[in-house]
Chain A
């Protein structure tokens, strides 16, 4: 079983839609959580950190459920420019800042 699992998609949604991605992680020692975004044939870039109480950044909301070892990302009012692969990332403390990436969920926003 992979340490970080995501539905690969693709999720095809119209502009303006709300879309949610889920991610589960298997290692309970995981301490920090992030969403990265990777455009086609580009490098990953940090989208947002995920805090225990949940956090929002504009149209993006991230949630963490430690008991269920589950992370989510909600995108409201989808834009064409949101089309990308969203990578769920976990980190264990005292592991040299080592990030473990999920396989990514591909989002395609259509006009």
Chain B
């Protein structure tokens, strides 16, 4: 069973469109994250949610809106897609508290190409 699953795996779309990426974890973790990995391979945190509440928002444009309907899901909606949004987006999760420090489990990634 996949621990952290995200869909779709590939997403090709036109500039200006709105798209969503879904993420689910079956590990019973309290905290979920979205990361962006650009063409230079730098992996940067975008958002973090703990028990459905936003705890980190790293100066991401407000075209990006995360939504956590429950602690097992963290979806990412992107409005008015731009060329610079092309990247691989990774969802991750971790346990809360000291036990989860630094140990994050990543989904397989969603490759977004904006044309």
Contact = CB atoms under 8 A, between A and B. Distances in A.
Contacts of A89: 102
Contacts of A34: 102-103
Nearest to A34: B102
A47 to B, nearest CB: 11
Interface residues of A, number: 22
Given A43-B107, A44-B90, A96 B41 contact: no
Nearest to B55: A96
B49 to A, nearest CB: 10
A85 interface: yes
Nearest to B107: A43
Contact of A43 (B55, B56, B108): B108
B45 A99 contact: yes
Contact of A46 (B40, B41, B43, B103): B103
B101 A97 contact: yes
Given A96-B48, A103-B41, A46 B56 contact: no
A43 B92 CA distance: 10
